[in-house]
Amino acid sequence: MKILGIDTSTMISGIGVVDNGHTLADFRYDVKLTHSEVLLSHIDKLLKDLNLELGDLDGFSISMGPGSFTGLRIGLATIKGLSFASGRPVVGVPTLDALAFLSMGCKYPLVPILDAKKKQVYAAVYDVKNNKIKRKSSYFVLDLLELIEKIPKEVAFTGPGIKAFGQELKKTMGKKAHFLRGEKTLPSGAAVAYLGWERLKKNEKEHLSSLVPIYVRKSEAELKFRNV
């Protein structure tokens, strides 16, 4: 079962393909323009590199957020279009779950973080036991002090949010804060594809009409409308 996964929750565009749980490709692009200008061409190039056609895929998996509102909408619209064109099913994968999955061997509780702007982070807490990841909290958006109050005393942080908040977390938490480095901290299309494959092989799939992003907080437009 070949699954294409994409992650457009940040400015890192992650695209990957897995075949029955084995990674065939995992590409990451630092998007200088917008996902809408490059995503389809990146997917086309990836499939050509693998000598695959759209019809060779058995399904799609999409990172559902939290993350950039615009990026999430672009990714979701793209995957819905590919699903409609090919007749293949789609499943959604929470962005933070996919980031946690990349650090399966971590010996500390995991806290993936994404920059939510406004000096806040998107985050969740995960336990890692017996090579299994289990989420222990809701998905939340908080400032750093509020985050520290919600997490275990000693944790490992992962995710692209480390770049913006790592120094402040290290200063505040000291030796209780550990930081993962390298590719494991970046959104991965292959991780999204793998988690999607686990669902699709159980015959789980989403209805396109009800597939919506996990925003966690309201958009600026919604906040302004509420205050009118």
Q: Where does the pLDDT of residue 219 fall: very low under 50, low under 70, confident under 90, or very high at 90 and above? A: low
Could you read off the pLDDT of 106-164 as tens digits, one per residue? 889 999 999 999 999 999 999 988 878 899 999 999 999 999 998 988 999 999 999 99
Angle, in degrees to the nearest 10, between helices 35-49 and 69-86: 40
Is pLDDT of 36 > 80?
no
**How confident is the model at residue 228, as a pLDDT?**
44
The pTM (predicted TM-score) of the whole model is 0.92
Mean pLDDT of 14-39: 88
Could you read off the pLDDT of 57-89 as tens digits, one per residue? 999 999 999 999 999 999 999 999 999 999 999
CA distance 68 to 11: 8
**How confident is the model at residue 33, as a pLDDT?**
66
First to last CA, the chain: 50
CA distance 198 to 205: 11
* Domains recognised in the chain with CATH numbers: 2-94+188-226 (3.30.420.40), 103-185 (3.30.420.40)
Residue 74 phi, psi (nearest 5): -65, -45
User: Around Cβ 184, how many Cβ atoms within 10 Å?
Assistant: 17
Contacts of 214 (CB under 8 A, 6+ apart): 64, 65, 66, 94, 95, 139
**How confident is the model at residue 131, as a pLDDT?**
79
Is pLDDT of 198 > 80?
yes
Looking at the chain, the whole-number percentage of residues with pLDDT higher than 70 is 94
Q: Where does the pLDDT of residue 190 fall: very low under 50, low under 70, confident under 90, or very high at 90 and above? A: very high
